[in-house]
């Protein structure tokens, strides 16, 4: 019987500590945290991009999402087979001439489409420096850089 009482005590103490933490510090912080040390080779954190850098933003989400809430000045390149991939290629190529720094974003840190789009842009062999934004659109939105 003692283990049961002790188990109950552990549960009660844990709940009390959690309630106290919530009361003092508030609900858990849901903001995206990007740690440069944990990035893959071709990824960047938003904080690493100088505000003055000329960047070609490539939105890898759906056309509707891009139109509603993309980064102003961004271009679209997603992997929806109903889209015209050659039109995406040509559009990005025409922009890369003036802006060879390219950063691709999709919806959030769980989305893998941006890496595939970045690979497709690299395969164009236009000499652009192509990166993927860790945290994607969510990071940009939290920073107030998206269309509202």
127 lines the binding site for other proteins (CB under 8 A): yes
CB of 97 to other proteins, least distance (A): 5
Binding string to other proteins for residues 2 to 41, with x set by CB under 8 A, is what?
A: -xx-xx-xxx------------------------------
Quick check: 49 binds other proteins (CB under 8 A)? no
Task: In whole angstroms, give the CA distance from residue 92 to residue 109.
Answer: 23
Q: Which of 80, 129, 143, 147 binds other proteins (CB under 8 A)?
A: 80
Using CB under 8 A, pick the residue from 15, 112, 129, 143 that binds other proteins. 112
Query: 69 and 137 in contact (C-beta within 8 Å)?
Result: yes
Is residue 82 a contact residue for other proteins (CB under 8 A)? Answer: yes
Alpha-carbon distance 137 to 110, whole Å? 11
Q: Least distance in Å: CB of 23 to other proteins?
A: 22
Q: How far apart are CA 76 and CA 69, in angstroms?
A: 12
β-strand pairing of 56-59 with 75-76: parallel
Please report whether residue 45 would count as binding other proteins according to CB under 8 A. no
Q: What is the tally of helices (H) and strands (E) in the chain?
A: 5, 5
């Amino acid at each position: 019987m003692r283990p049961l009482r002790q188990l109950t005590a552990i549960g009660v103490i844990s709940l009390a500590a959690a309630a106290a933490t919530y009361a003092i510090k508030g609900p858990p912080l849901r903001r995206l945290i990007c740690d440069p040390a944990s990035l893959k080779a071709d990824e960047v954190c938003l904080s690493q991009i100088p505000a003055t850098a000329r960047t070609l933003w490539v939105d890898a989400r759906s056309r509707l999402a891009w139109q509603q809430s993309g980064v102003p000045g961004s271009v679209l390149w997603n992997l929806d087979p109903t889209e015209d991939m050659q039109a995406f290629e040509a559009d990005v190529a025409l922009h890369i001439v003036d802006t060879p720094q390219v950063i691709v974003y999709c919806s959030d840190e769980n989305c893998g489409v941006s890496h595939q789009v970045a690979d497709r842009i690299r395969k164009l062999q236009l000499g652009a420096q192509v990166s993927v934004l860790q945290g994607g659109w969510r990071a940009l939105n939290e920073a107030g850089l998206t269309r509202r």
